[in-house]
Structure formats: C-alpha cells, structure tokens
Amino acid sequence: MICDVLIIKDGLPLLSKSFSKSSNVKNVLSEVDDLLMISGFFSALNSFSDSFEDLGTIRELKLSNNSLKLSFLKDPVVPDLIFLASYDKSSELVDVQVFLKRISRLFLKEFDIHQITHWNGRLNSFKSFETVMEQCVKNEQKKEDKEYDNQVLDWIKSFETNKDVISQQEDENNMEELEPDYFNFIPIFTTSKKINPKHYLTGDISCQVYETIDGQKNINQITEEVNTEHKKVYNICKNLVKMGFISFN
C-alpha cells in the first residue's frame, strides 16, 4: 500500500501527506522536522542522476533500516518538480509509478504552472490537493484488495475437484481411515478474518458446518446442530483443514 506521498519543488517540500495507519511501520516521510532535509536530499539525488545520462533516472530506493521502499517521478513539464511515494511490499514498483503519474497529471490539472513555479515556499499553499491524493490512495488500495481476493479465489478453486466440496465417494473412502474418537475432535479457525471462506465453499451443508464452527463445539455437537451425518461433518472439516482454514484441537 501507499504509505506517504511527498511533492518536492526546488529541493523544498511543497506538499506532504501520510496515509499509513500502522504503528508497526515507521513512515520515513511523516516527520515534519525532517521534511526539509529529506526533500533536499532526494532533489540532489535526482539532480546527480541527471548529470550522468548513462545512469538513467532513479525510479526506486530501498533503505536498509526500513521496510518501506521509495519511488520517484520527475515531472517532465515543470522543472525541479518531483513526486515521491513510500510503499510497502504489498505494492509493485510499476503500480506505484502509475500512481505517481496519475498524481502528477491531477496536480497539474488542479494548479497552473505559474502557481507552481512562483510558489512562495509555504507548506499550506497546495493543501487542498490532499483530498485528491486521499482518493487516489483509496482507489489504489481497492485495486490491491481486489487482486488479493482474486488470488485467494484461484487458490481455493485449486482444491475443488467437482461442484461439491465432499463427494459421496470421498465420504466412503475417508470413512475407512476415520479415527475411533473423531467425533470428539474440535475444529478451530487458523485463518485471518480478512479471508472469508464462506464465499468460496459450495453446497449448503458445507456452509452450515463452517458457520457452526466456533472453536468450542466438537464434531458430534456440530453434527447435531446441522442435522446431518457424523462422517459428512468430519470429511467437510478435513477438507477445510487441507485448505488451511481450520485445524483440529
């Protein structure tokens, strides 16, 4: 996800906004006292690369003492105008570059070149643009969440061999391997609440069994609640174990 956005003009912080809500990650651009020094450093870094054509343009920077990466975009229209974003491992460089290009286009659409080139150095001069950046970050997060959900869906489908989670034939084969006291087993969740397996299960019984699992009821109690066979509940739970959603206590 995008954690911070910084716009630099002539080595000065024109606009800075932090979007990270995690207390576990220190945002490299969130300290106001350091913005002047950071802006000057990154501006000088980009100027250095411009001095040597063979080096190319800086696109990404990784600091050894921080889990975040930094991506740069130098605006081709306004001289010494740099767009910078910090992001975590859930985002790819190419996506962050597209994000910065979008921010750049919207910024130049919101403010004319005269306003930018004659900026007086005040940090609140372009504060109204924060709302635009917030919407762009939200859109980026929605896209990442959708891609993640699609990956989970593909992973879940790889376990399915037919429309029913447990076929009758699998029930019969698995019954030969059932432990004598399997009805005392208690299924407990092992997955994050972000993943909702109910969206990927097929068959009413499978969904009912999943909804009844609470980490307290054993196979026998779940069977009585959903009004089905013990072997059916046990085999559904075994399939959920294979999929990584639950384990047996």
Q: Reduce the secondary structure of 115-148 to three states and give it as a string.
A: HHHCCCCCHHHHHHHHHHHHHHHHHHHHHHHHHH
> For the packed helices 168-175 and 230-242, what is the interaxial angle rounded to 10 degrees?
100
Domain total of the chain: 2
Structure tokens at 141: 């997060």
142 and 173, same domain (yes or no): no
Residue-range definition of the domain harbouring residue 237: 168-248
- Mean of the per-residue pLDDT values of the chain: 75
Q: What is the CATH number of the domain that holds 184?
A: 3.90.930
pLDDT at 161 over 50: no
Tell me how far apart the alpha carbons of residues 78 and 65 are, in angstroms, rounded to a whole number. Answer: 33
Residue listed under structure tokens 């343009």: 57
Closest CA to 84 of 71, 97, 101, 67: 71
Per-residue pLDDT of 236-245, as tens digits, reads 888 888 777 8
List CB contacts of 146: < 8 A, sequence separation 6 or more: none
pTM exceeds 0.85: no
Closest CA to 63 of 82, 38, 94: 38
The residue-averaged pLDDT of 178-197 equals 71
pLDDT at 211 over 70: yes
What is the reported pLDDT for 172?
A: 52
pLDDT at 31 over 80: no
Beta strand segments in the chain, E: 2-9, 12-18, 60-62, 69-74, 81-87, 187-189, 246-248
pLDDT at 160 over 70: no
145 and 173, same domain (yes or no): no
Closest CA to 28 of 78, 67, 59: 67
What is the reported pLDDT for 225?
A: 92
Compute the Cα dihedral for 97, 98, 99, 100 and give only its sign: positive
Tell me how far apart the alpha carbons of residues 178 and 142 are, in angstroms, rounded to a whole number. Answer: 44
145 and 24, same domain (yes or no): yes
Helix (H, G, I), strand (E, B) or coil at 81: strand
Of the given ranges (30-34, 118-122, 148-152), which has the lowest mean pLDDT? 148-152
Per-residue pLDDT of 63-112, as tens digits, reads 666 677 888 888 878 888 889 888 887 778 888 888 899 999 999 989 98
The residue-averaged pLDDT of 18-43 equals 65
12 and 68, same domain (yes or no): yes
pLDDT at 163 over 50: no
Q: What is the CATH number of the domain that holds 137?
A: 3.30.450.70
The band of 176, judged by pLDDT with boundaries at 50, 70 and 90, is very low
Residue 161 lies in a domain: no
